[in-house]
Amino acid sequence: MPSSRSICGSHTAPLALDLARRSRMIVGSEKYTRLFSQIRLSDDQTAKGYYVNTRGGSRLSTMVGGKPTGFHAHFLLVDDPLDPKGALSEADLKSANDWMRETLPTRKVDKAIVPTILIMQRLHENDPTGEWLKRSQGHRVKHVCLPAEVSERVQPAGLKRMYRKGLLDPIRLGTTELEENRKQLGEFGYAGQFDQYPVPRGGGDFKVQRFVFERSIPSSMVHQIRYWDKAGTRGGGAYTVGTLMGKDKAGFYWVLDVKRGQWDAYERENLILATAKMDGIKTHVYIEQEPGSGGLESAQNTIRRLSGFIVRADRPVGDKETRAEPWAIQVNAGNVRVIVAPWNHEFVNEHMYWPNSKYKDQVDSAGGAFIKLQTRRRAGAL
């Protein structure tokens, strides 16, 4: 298809231009010319970033965030829209996903048939591959997954026969080389870049397979707390989460209920009040107080609305990862029971990907509830 036009993107302009240079070298090579004698690069347009052949075909290079205005293509090809460091930045993740979702699709000659080909290593739950797979629900997306070591994640499964001694590339990435990369990158980095699954094989900070699911609440509950991590944006941004957690006489911790949504301030405050009435007066309520005067005012407003209930503001100390560690220790020790409910999937998923999860509000809320359960016990509270 010598008249086809391609738009090719990468996370930075130097990478995009280097790939374009390599492609142009192939088209201009003696071997290519011998095989496809009717195709030549056009003399008047041979720049690395945009070149045209004598049959009307072209290759335009761009970077993530670029807007190839005026150009439409028969093929959209994206190689590494995100670098490993960028995966740790919410802004970079959003930029890559927005570009893949909003900019590129408008550059198709025919939206019904023009394919987008994405090639990347997995870096984050919410990286472009993760977003595509979530949105597609298996429709119109063909997923080819090739981890460095054979596993159940190889897709299509028939490609497992191409592995040699359990390795995708035993020459370049043998057992010794893979182990060196594991030490250099750490478990999270290796899991994404080599296993193509941004969660270590043994689990991340939270070993979610050690949650114990139960269908009924025990009668031996001695402490119960609802902890709210508030957000104020309807339909976007972070979630407001209220975790109801208890502790029984045997010393096990119970996640009894999770309220989670993207509500505006009015909806949120009404829900917090309704939930407090549902939980009852014996359930202590904590409101996470964000830094600054705005956070103080928001917490005070909620406390005022919950007059008659035992409610306090909480100002967390330290970063999120540090605050979550005591909670993770109990989960990993098998000391946490979870009531079976529709909210289980998102709750477990966020813990599984932590600290690289797209959202962190459920871990924050659960961790806060857990810490406050310890505070009550030490203080000798009911």
pLDDT, greater one: 90 or 227: 227
Predicted confidence at residue 163, as pLDDT, reads 97
Mean local confidence (pLDDT), 90-119: 91
Backbone angles phi, psi at 60, to 5 degrees: -110, 130
Predicted confidence at residue 302, as pLDDT, reads 95
Residue 229 and residue 240 in contact, taking contact as beta carbons nearer than 8 Å: yes
Predicted confidence at residue 69, as pLDDT, reads 77
Per-residue pLDDT tens over the stretch 56-66? 899 999 998 88
- Whether residue 46 has pLDDT greater than 50: yes
Mean local confidence (pLDDT), 230-236: 73
Predicted confidence at residue 232, as pLDDT, reads 66
For the CA atoms of 18, 22, 23, 29, the dihedral, rounded to the nearest 10 degrees, stands at 150
- Domain residue limits, the chain: 5-143, 208-379
- Alpha-carbon distance of 375 to 202, in angstroms, equals 31
pLDDT band at 382 (very low <50, low <70, confident <90, very high): very low
Predicted confidence at residue 43, as pLDDT, reads 83
Task: Name the DSSP letter for residue 103.
Answer: I
Task: Name the DSSP letter for residue 28.
Answer: T
- Whether residue 253 has pLDDT greater than 80: yes
Predicted confidence at residue 201, as pLDDT, reads 66
Residues facing 253 on adjacent strands: 247, 336
- Whether residue 380 has pLDDT greater than 50: no
Across the beta sheet with 75-79, what order do the strands follow? 41-46, 50-53, 58-63, 5-10, 75-79, 116-119
pLDDT, greater one: 48 or 190: 190
Q: What is the pTM of this model?
A: 0.65
Predicted confidence at residue 278, as pLDDT, reads 96
Mean local confidence (pLDDT), 344-365: 90
> In a 10 Å sphere around its CB, with 0-12 CB exposed, 13-18 middle and 19+ buried, how is residue 30 labelled?
exposed
Cα distances (Å, whole numbers) of residue 328 to 276, 320, 375: 26, 12, 17
Residue 97 and residue 130 in contact, taking contact as beta carbons nearer than 8 Å: no
Residue found under tokens 């359960």 = 373
Predicted confidence at residue 156, as pLDDT, reads 95
Fold type of domain 208-379: Nucleotidyltransferase; domain 5 (3.30.420)
- Whether residue 244 has pLDDT greater than 50: yes
pLDDT band at 138 (very low <50, low <70, confident <90, very high): low
Share of the chain above pLDDT 70, in %: 95
Per-residue pLDDT tens over the stretch 306-347? 999 999 999 988 888 899 999 999 999 999 999 999 999 999
